[in-house]
Amino acid sequence: MPSLLHEITTPFKKATFGMGCFWACDALFGAQPGVLRTRVGYSGGTTLDPQYRKIGDHTEVIEIDYDPKVVSYEDLLKLFWSNHEYGLTNVIKRQYMSLILYHDDDQKRIAEISLKKEAHKHNTKLTTEIRPAGAFYPAENYHQKYRLQEHAWLCEELGLTPELLQTSHVAARLNGYLVGVGKLEDFEKDIAKLALTDKIASFVRAQLIENEGGSLYC
């Protein structure tokens, strides 16, 4: 069985985005080079202990741990701007709003510059809000790595626990590859790095090829 408990000692930074349904974000970012871990949840509001059916004034977001030596914050923002489920100009309910929660002054500066560039590109005012990151509340277990959890046998063979669905690098990568996100050559390199069995590697490879270019959204 692959070892999912190995420590990732690489220094990392956090990024937090709201882009619509967080299932899609989890898959999109999880398979990107330099992304170490992902988890989905609720943030941006003031309500205590938000839940999916009682989200209060929070937004569905993804929290990303990334290696800045491999992928930059600017790179993550490019994915953010290009992959909204509901677009950037539509006024929708707060649960699915376009939101950037910055973790330091540098992220704030970069995000504000990128917002101005995107608004100029679209030649209109965007609905995206930029605010400091506050409390993050992990979503319920069934939301974490949702696409991966659709393959129950795979989760069982990987030995995934509810905790590992949020902390495992392996889970993050496979959750993206299974729905066609990422490059085949990157997956081939990951097979040994992630200690995948031949059975798992063959299945994920077939899914990656079949689903490449398909829709991520709900």
pLDDT, tens digit (0-9, with 9 covering 90-100), for 162-186 = 999 999 999 999 999 999 999 999 9
CATH of domain 13-138: 3.30.1060.10
Domain ranges of the chain: 13-138, 144-211
pLDDT, tens digit (0-9, with 9 covering 90-100), for 140-165 = 999 999 999 999 999 999 999 999 99
Residues identified as active-site: 21
CB < 8 Å & 24+ apart, contacts of 41-48: 41/136, 41/137, 41/138, 41/139, 42/136, 42/137, 42/139, 43/16, 43/18, 43/101, 43/133, 43/134, 43/135, 43/136, 43/137, 44/18, 44/99, 44/101, 44/129, 44/131, 44/134, 45/94
pLDDT, tens digit (0-9, with 9 covering 90-100), for 26-53 = 999 999 999 999 999 999 999 999 999 9
pTM, rounded to two decimals: 0.94
